[in-house]
Chain A
Amino acid sequence: MARKPQEDPQLDMTPMIDVVFELIIFFVVTIKPQDVFSRLNVNRPAPAQSSAEQTNDPIEEIQVGEHSRSDRKGVYVYNGKPYDIKTIDPILKKISSVSSDATIVVRCNGKSPHGALVDLLDICYKYKLMNVSVFSM
């Protein structure tokens, strides 16, 4: 049997190209984009720690209550007045314009849905209010 030359100028690339194309088509069809996740940091202050870290930055308190039946989103209370997720947005914008170092204290009712808290934290992040503490009632 004659020895095949090392470099074959007539090398048949067709099957390789076939396979590569088929694989490309397969993966283009099957790969679906994944969700992108974000993280929202909160502080969980110890009673002793919060009194030790007294600063001059303003502290604003927002309460997250049990959601009402008509509105699935949480009901927020700020300065004794109720807000929903849309109306609390300008309030936080105002707080951030006064001082971006303001501490937001979020007091959560035990029955309030977690989504209501995350929605509120998201708005805090939107206005770069990073000092958020979560208390539970």
Chain B
Amino acid sequence: MARKAQTNPQLDMTPMIDVVFELIIFFVVTLTESARKDESITLADGKHGMVITAETLPMEHLQIDVAAFDKKGPGRQRLKTPRISISDREISLQDVKNIVLERKKRYGHEFPVLIRADERTPHEMIRHVMDQCTAAGIWKISFTAVAEDNTSDTKKKKK
């Protein structure tokens, strides 16, 4: 049998390119799925709550973020009025009502509204957000909590 040349100019790159493309597509798809959210929020623990998966929470839901602290890195300041945002875009209480009202018209009063609030937010502010939801006709509201803490930095933040 003839010895194969070390450098083969006819090397078939097809399978390698196939695999690389497939991986690129896979990661592009999975990365865009991670929703944008307010990263400054520290959630309280809720081990016993309904675990959020694609099956238990439909795609058509609304998560309202309520943050109590400044976004900037270390030495963050407590905000005088908590910051309300959806998908990391700051909105006013009036906007909350309008958005919830519009969703309720489209999906009915069972539309899931989740409030993802910092555990240090005073209840008063949560109340304002809840009142806007009730004014729009949504009586059932959920709070987001941490069922399983896999990223250690949330534990660190708590101290």
| CA distance in complex: A65, B61 (Å) | 31
| CA distance in complex: A41, B149 (Å) | 20
Asked whether, in the complex, the Cβ of B20 is within 8 Å of the Cβ of A113, the reply is: no
Q: Which residues of A contact B139 (CB under 8 A)?
A: 43-46, 49
B contacts with A: majority SS: mixed
> Shortest Cβ distance from A118 into chain B, in angstroms?
4
Across the two chains, which residue of chain A brings its CB closest to B56? Answer: A39
Confirm or deny: B99 has a beta carbon within 8 angstroms of a beta carbon on chain A.
no
Across the two chains, which residue of chain A brings its CB closest to B139? Answer: A44
Q: Which residues of A contact B120 (CB under 8 A)?
A: 113-115
| CA distance in complex: A43, B113 (Å) | 12
> Shortest Cβ distance from B130 into chain A, in angstroms?
5
Q: Which residues of B contact A38 (CB under 8 A)?
A: 46-52, 144-147
Knowing A12-B11, A15-B16, A38-B146, say if A111 contacts B52 (CB, 8 Å).
no
Q: Which residues of A contact B151 (CB under 8 A)?
A: 32-35
Asked whether, in the complex, the Cβ of A122 is within 8 Å of the Cβ of B45, the reply is: yes
A38-B51, A108-B127 given. 17 additional CB < 8 A pairs? Answer: A8-B12, A15-B13, A16-B16, A33-B150, A34-B151, A35-B154, A39-B144, A41-B141, A42-B142, A114-B44, A114-B120, A114-B121, A115-B119, A119-B44, A122-B45, A125-B46, A126-B48
